[in-house]
Structure 1
Amino acid sequence: MTVVRDTHEAYGAVFEERGERALPRHFGRPERTHRAVRNAVGVTEHAYGVLVVSGDDRRDFVDNAVTNTVPETDGQGTYALLLDPQAGVRTDMYVYEAGDRLLCFLPPETVGDVAAEWRENVFIEDVEITEATDDFGVFGVHGPNATEKVASVLHGSGAPDAPLSFVRGEIYDHGVTVIRTDSTTGEEGYEVVVGADGASDILDTLITRGLNAAPFGTAVWEALTLEAGTPVYPHDMAGRVPNVLGLRTALDFEKGCYVGQEIVSKVENRGRPSQRLVGLELEGDAEAVPAVGDGLDVRDGERTVGEVTRAAWGESVGAPLAFALVDYGLDAEAVAVPTEDGEREAAVVELPFVVGSDRSARVPRYE
């Protein structure tokens, strides 16, 4: 459950469930709020499950489990993956060093399983793992005016400059942590973390005080990240080898072993994975967005060359958009997508679809 349902309802939210949490799907007229984020600034509540990892061995413990190097310096973070033995993505997460503890932000549907597994794997280490999802509210501020928005309400510190760094300050008499994001929407972005008891005040302040911002929900978030070329969990990522997704920002090939590293390293050393993530632009209006469901094939003539992972209406492009994992060597400019309404032609587009005020760090890179 969102920690600020009443505040969302006051702004007209329609809710959806995700990982036992109710989050706003939209606030009415999502196309309008989509344009507000692209042209100015918008505010959303992010669906994170939160783990607090404390103890003297916390950093080594988490570092040995994930695909990227865990930061040592207070105020710094990293984006990382947790892999299965076949090197498929089990979950993604952000890990922040917060002085005497690590804060791990995960998809809410995975946090319980990860917490249980990590506790089982603690032997003689000085490590304590606490699930703290309900203790925090996390709000995203995204758009070309995001920095001005944060500056208009944040006291005691300036907005952080480096991606995945954070500062501590105060908004509306509440202590907050403000994180510079890795620009998953393709725009400047910040996340404001506050204790649950101050979450309602912070959300209302972010929307109405200083520079006004439009509230938006998961429908607009999914479309923004799609336009920005950002693969997201679980739709594009679950069970996939990270090299196939071009997720180089989540990998440190020089760090110690983690589950599945050998497979990932072999793919890297071959120079090319079996598939790559591309964009598809289809003809039609907002009603023509294909329902992905259990997956849609991508065909080049008589050959099946991949599958669609997710689709949404691209308000900034004015067309239905989709991500597809296709054969790495595919050089077709157009493909076909068989749907319940018949075969649809789609142009193959290199990501991102939209270049905004910043570039998502997760845009696929194949080297």
Structure 2
Amino acid sequence: MTGSPFLALPGAVVGDPPDAGVAAHYGNPMVEQRRLEEGRAIVDLSNRGVITVTGPDRRSWLNSMASRALDHLAPGESAEALFLDAGGHVEHAVHVVDDGERTWLVLEGDAAPALASWLDRMRFMLRVEVADVSDAFAVVGAMPRGDGFPVGLPEGALVWRDPWRQVLPDGYGYAPELGHAGADWRYVEAIVPRESLADFAAAARAGTVEVAGALALEALRVAAWRPRSATEVDDRTLPHELDWLRSAVDLHKGCYRGQETVAKVVNLGRPPRRLVMLHLDGSDTILPKPGDQVVGRKVRPEPAQGEEPERRVVGAITSAAMHHELGPIALAVIKRSVPADLELIVESHGIDVAAAQVEIVPAGAAAAVEVPRLPRLGIRP
């Protein structure tokens, strides 16, 4: 991929991984958050990967491997799907949209070659073709107020609409729907020819559209409890731990790799770890970084005089951001057994940062008794 023309805009500061190659901000991340939230700005995501699958068997073939039903995906319809390993751990998360001739998959840029290679090896004798088209197509994000986009899109552009704002009919939500932080999440992604980026940058220079950097999008994402593959996923991640069954898993669909683990954990109701949002003490102006340890501090019922509370590492920060209304916030993955009212501390930059826990996947997550137990093998009717 060539350098993005957005990086030549006034004030552009290039981002750090996983947002290297695009602008982290253009001088004022807080203002950019408001622009994005109000539907007035676009975000350069041209470092994302884009894969296409063509051929008459493409949807049924993808459906056989993905966690979400894709065999009946209509032209223009959006979906999110996961590719899992045999143990049910997340390997890839993709944003899916079909144009009637090709199925488009958007994912983290550094993951595209590996997924394209794996898909190509899985074709066997089916009538499908897989191509990594990241050099020819790019992604631009926005949070429009209506069905449009903040800037005119070139002919043939596809728009993917994030399903995170509500639990899909065949999904399952661990977090209560009432008061869910993602209820107002209106995020969309446009897939456009890469040469269109220069036109968008020119429109920004002319003042016909505003821009926001990756930091603005990340802050709004964290506030919406929305998991991201590049930040929340490690080699042990099960979709249940991130509440990803609400948007990316079809519990009435069988016959995909990892499906038995998905069904088992749903029916038992005990994800090994769980995602939480943390409200952080901002008095030290310290923003934790991914990987910083989350520590639980437990006071004994009858502590000895001068005895310090017991400290145990219970998890780690996955994403952190400075939100324009909430202040410093973070997502963290912690042990399932950590009580919801346990005092938490983030060890960051050599100091202790107090953290108030907001449950996303509850500590007492129960079995999904209303979800039928899935057969070992099955097909979607």
Task: Report the TM-score when normalising by structure 2.
Answer: 0.77
Among residues 162, 173, 190, which one is paired with 1:181 in the alignment? 162
With over 3 angstroms needed to count, the CA separation of the structure-2 counterparts of 1:285 and 1:99, relative to structure 1, is farther
1:276 aligns with 2:257: no
1:22 aligns with 2:21: yes
Q: CA deviation at 1:146?
A: 3.7
**Unmatched tracts of structure 2, length 5 or more:** 166-181, 299-309, 369-381
- For 2:196 and 2:284, locate their aligned partners in 1 and report how far apart those are by CA, in whole Å: 38
With over 3 angstroms needed to count, the CA separation of the structure-2 counterparts of 1:274 and 1:7, relative to structure 1, is closer
- For 1:365 and 1:55, locate their aligned partners in 2 and report how far apart those are by CA, in whole Å: 42
**Unmatched tracts of structure 1, length 5 or more:** 155-170, 353-363
Alignment-derived partner of residue 298 in structure 1: 295
Q: What secondary structure does 1:147 align onto? A: coil
- For 1:324 and 1:19, locate their aligned partners in 2 and report how far apart those are by CA, in whole Å: 18
With over 3 angstroms needed to count, the CA separation of the structure-2 counterparts of 1:54 and 1:87, relative to structure 1, is same
Alignment-derived partner of residue 53 in structure 1: 53
The percent of aligned pairs where both chains have the same amino acid is 26
Q: Does structure 2 conserve the Cα–Cα contact (< 8 Å) formed by 1:140 and 1:192?
A: yes
Q: Does structure 1 conserve the Cα–Cα contact (< 8 Å) formed by 2:281 and 2:328?
A: yes
- For 1:2 and 1:216, locate their aligned partners in 2 and report how far apart those are by CA, in whole Å: 20
Q: CA deviation at 1:57?
A: 1.4
Higher CA-based Rg: 2
Alignment-derived partner of residue 242 in structure 1: 239
Q: What secondary structure does 1:229 align onto? A: coil
Alignment-derived partner of residue 360 in structure 1: none
Among residues 341, 345, 357, which one is paired with 1:332 in the alignment? 341
With over 3 angstroms needed to count, the CA separation of the structure-2 counterparts of 1:49 and 1:94, relative to structure 1, is same
- For 1:134 and 1:247, locate their aligned partners in 2 and report how far apart those are by CA, in whole Å: 29
Q: Does structure 1 conserve the Cα–Cα contact (< 8 Å) formed by 2:9 and 2:201?
A: no
Alignment-derived partner of residue 225 in structure 1: 221
Q: CA deviation at 1:149?
A: 6.3
Alignment-derived partner of residue 157 in structure 1: none
Alignment-derived partner of residue 309 in structure 1: 318
Deviations 1:158-197 (A, max 9, x none): xxxxxxxxxxxxx4x6443333333688543332322223
Q: What secondary structure does 2:111 align onto? A: helix
- What root-mean-square deviation, in Å, do the aligned CA atoms of Structure 1 and Structure 2 show? 3.0
Q: What secondary structure does 1:287 align onto? A: coil
Specify the code of the residue in structure 2 equivalent to 1:324: V
Task: Report the TM-score when normalising by structure 1.
Answer: 0.80
Deviations 1:63-118 (A, max 9, x none): 11111111431111210111122211111001212111211111111110111111
Once structures 1 and 2 are overlaid, which stretch shifts more, 335-344 or 228-237? 335-344
Deviations 1:22-53 (A, max 9, x none): 21121112122123223452211223211111
List aligned pairs for 1:105-124, cutoff 5 A: 105-124=106-125
Q: What secondary structure does 1:22 align onto? A: coil
List aligned pairs for 1:70-85, cutoff 5 A: 70=70, 71-85=72-86
- How many aligned positions are there? 332
* Higher strand proportion (structure 1 or 2): 1
Q: Does structure 2 conserve the Cα–Cα contact (< 8 Å) formed by 1:312 and 1:320?
A: yes
Query: Which stretches of structure 1, 4 residues or more, deviate above 4 A after TM superposition?
Result: 17-21, 183-186, 206-209, 364-367
With over 3 angstroms needed to count, the CA separation of the structure-2 counterparts of 1:285 and 1:200, relative to structure 1, is farther
With over 3 angstroms needed to count, the CA separation of the structure-2 counterparts of 1:7 and 1:244, relative to structure 1, is closer
Q: Does structure 1 conserve the Cα–Cα contact (< 8 Å) formed by 2:32 and 2:216?
A: yes
Alignment-derived partner of residue 361 in structure 1: none
Q: What secondary structure does 2:256 align onto? A: coil
Among residues 255, 258, 261, which one is paired with 1:257 in the alignment? 255
